[in-house]
Amino acid sequence: MKILKFGSASTESPERITALKKIVENQDGQVVVVVPALKGIPEKLMQLCHLASSRDRDFFKVYNEVEGMHLDFISALFQGPKATEILNRINGYLKELSNIVNGIYLLGDITFKIQDKVLSFGGLMSSLIVREVIEGSELLDVRNLIKTNSDFGAARVNFAVTNRQIKFRFKNMAKIAVIPGFIGSNDRNETTTLGRGGTDYTASIFAAALDAGRLEIFTDVDGFMTADPKKVRKAFAIKSLSYAEAIELSHFGAEVVYTPTIQPVYLKNIEIHIKNILNPQAEGTVIAQVDKHRSDKLIKGISSIDDVSLVTLQGSGMVGPTDITGRLFDLLTRHNINIILITQASSEYSITFAFNPQDTELAIPLLEKEFEAEIKQRNELKILVEKELSVIAIVGEQMKNTPGISANLFSSLGRNGISVIATAQGSSELNISVVIKKESLKKALNVIHEGFFLSHIKELHLYLMGTGTVGKQLLEQIRLQKNKLLEEHKLNINVIGISNSRQMLMVQDGIDLENYAVQIEKQGERADMDLFLQKMRYLNYRNSIFVDCSASEKVAATYRDILLSFISVVTANKIACSSSYQLYKELKNIALEKKVKFMYETNVGAGLPIISTLNDLIRSGDKIISLEAVLSGTLNFILNTLSETTKFSDAVKMAREKGYSEPDPRTDLSGTDVIRKLLILARESGYQLEKEKIKVDPFLPDDVFKGSLDDFWKTVQKHDAGFETRRKQVSAKNRKLRYVASLNKGKASIGLQEIDSLHPAFLLDDSNNIIIIQTERYRDQPMVIKGYGAGAAVTAAGVFADIIRVANV
């Protein structure tokens, strides 16, 4: 004997019912098929009740939709006289339904008893259709078999009578019996319903009564999942669960199995197999007394309840031996208020309950009345209510006596800026439950799932601002390296958002870097930085990184809020770190406080490891005495390019064409870029330096920097002759011109210098940078870092390296 229960996915379309038929007909031995209403019908029947009792004539429209759905199924599944016969029988039910709903409309009122009657028609009609599809099957009226009390809406089963009725009826049973789920009847044969998940419960009742070999439940997923696949894309099917684990996961929101379903089969030690009607060959999940496939994972699954409220009873009246707790539980029991979670402070000063929002609205006035004297007269208690919350539970029998589970849970949440409002854990250590803000639910589920199930893979979510030369190079480098990082380093990088000055694009599952430019053009929207950041925060993905490859002051001004949102920042934009010392320090402190990263290695030296080296020296106890550096790859390229045949203005144009200079070369020629870099280096070296304290010796007059960019190109040519004269003078002395930035015991200066052949910067080629670091440890032989200091490719590589550093912390 086998019980097959089919979920709403099986009645979503005529094609699904045909698939159901194939599954049933392939079974060996006797089979009981438990079917739900056609998908969507229960909601429409409930809507009918509401509209008719409100005397809203729109109920006619909903009734016609109910009728139409059933007629459409019949016309798709049956032909000729058989279709007519089934249609006549369905019309009998529809006529009865119409009479009841019209009566509700005339009265303008409805009772739970009548509501149960209306809701029963869904299963009665669908089971009739399924019975006719499965040839040789027998249709049973489940109301004659499952007997309940008269608690309409959530009736309790009288198991003694029910089991006797089922056993007697199945003494001479056809090979295949079809029954509707969800309904029963009381001792007066009035229709009752079994409450939420009643179709699952029906199947379990029959399995236990008939001592079935197994209960198979067909859904639209491959079994019990490690988490809700609608919220966690990387959730996967669990091979097996114990009854206790399944009950815990179901209680906390996993909708694969209705919690009471497990009780009847648990008592008879009957296995439950969760299968996918769309993929019946899949292994699915086995629920049994003992876990049949012991996993190496510490937890089995994660479940959640989306919307709860916390109600706390707090005050001195709770402390010591009082009757308050007893009165509290008695009150909730008498009014059938379901408690989702309980937690109490060890001081006994407070006790907290989690309810669904509807029960909260019912509970508050009852509590206020029950404890009126303690609240208003003796001032011993107060009631606190928190709304818009969610509960998450991690479940697994292997958690017992295993250290580190709680640490993993809370650190996963904390690293991603998710605060835990309340927590509870039973002495059985079967589950740990946390209450968080509802807005953080999806992110929380993903970080917990990653921490327990995907700890071997780290996933980063990038939001790129700026698709100039550096931004484009970065995207290309990520594209080329993506698979290697995943395979060899278990690091998966997803670019979720890209924005330039004209358009922006955000794709929740990640942008295809093979053709992102085409995607932006076709699917993108007008660039709006505020909207871009708003969407980034709304998605609230774990391990999110905002990457700034722009040179925008407006973008740099957003770092503070981004870091406060628990999102790391990786930037090639020097503006934030070279503005006021107060802001620089504030950004670093926020990152430290929120446990996110603020990375800006490429602010100085492009891809050269300059800032990280300074940090390592200082963290290890060394002290920076002085720095001497050529920090402008642009200016070094220009000075190296000057010759008898290459004028100064031509060298500037060449630097811009090669991508070495800023879009406006005056930023480089004015020394502004080097000032920013030296300021950042000074601060990283431990000096609280402001820009105004840097001594700058300009090598071009003010007129070069006035007017438009077009004016600049005309004006700069006037200085070609002067530069050629100086070049000859320097060359005659076997020296070279270098634009040098210096820091000595906190005093900073910048200017054009002549250096001889003994200086480390003498042979500095092309756009290379060099920094000479003298410290207490490197006093006699200073540390030298030298290499490419400009160019889109090396800068992008530096940004990429910073992104990977975020993943490695």
The CA radius of gyration of the chain, in Å to the nearest whole number, is 36
CA 264/CA 194 separation, integer angstroms: 14
Options 300, 677, 736, 786, the catalytic residue = 677
CB 249 within 8 A of CB 395: yes
Q: Which amino acid, 82?
A: K
- The single residue listed with the structure tokens 């001497």 is 628
The strands making up 695-697's β-sheet, listed across from edge to edge, are 695-697, 747-755, 736-744, 624-630, 768-775, 783-788
Backbone angles phi, psi at 429, to 5 degrees: 60, 25
Q: Whole-angstrom Cα distance, residue 520 to residue 504?
A: 6
Length of the chain as a residue count: 809
136: left (phi over 0), alpha (psi -120 to 50) or beta: left
CA distances from 22 to 39, 173, 226, 665 (A): 19, 21, 29, 73
- Give the list of residues 6+ apart from residue 406 with CB closer than 8 angstroms, or none: 425, 432
Backbone phi, psi, residue 112, to 5°: -60, -30
Look up residue 39 and give its DSSP letter.
T
Cβ proximity of 637 and 651 under 8 Å: yes
Count each helix (H run) and each strand (E run) in the chain, helices first: 28, 29
> What beta strand segments (E) does 67-161 contain?
138-139
Of 754, 718, 469, which is closest to residue 639 (Cα–Cα)?
754
Virtual torsion, Cα 772, 776, 779, 783, nearest 10 deg: -30
The span from the CA of 617 to the CA of 681, in Å, is 13
| DSSP β-bridge partners for residue 787 | 769
The burial class, CB within 10 Å (0-12 / 13-18 / 19+), for 549 is buried
Q: Is 163 helix (H, G, I), strand (E, B) or coil?
A: helix
Q: Is 376 a catalytic residue?
A: no
> What distance in Å separates the CA atoms of residue 149 and residue 140, rounded to the nearest whole number?
21
Between the CA of residue 673 and those of 215, 227, 357, 520, 708, what are the distances in Å? 72, 50, 57, 31, 19
d(CA 268, CA 287): 13
Q: Are strands 31-35 and 176-180 parallel, antiparallel or unpaired?
A: parallel
Distance from the first to the final alpha carbon of the chain: 56
Q: Which helix (H) or strand (E) holds 533?
A: helix 529-539
What are φ and ψ of residue 718, in 5° steps? Answer: -65, -15
Rounded to an integer, what distance in angstroms lies between the CA atom of residue 218 and that of residue 201?
A: 14
Active site residues: 677
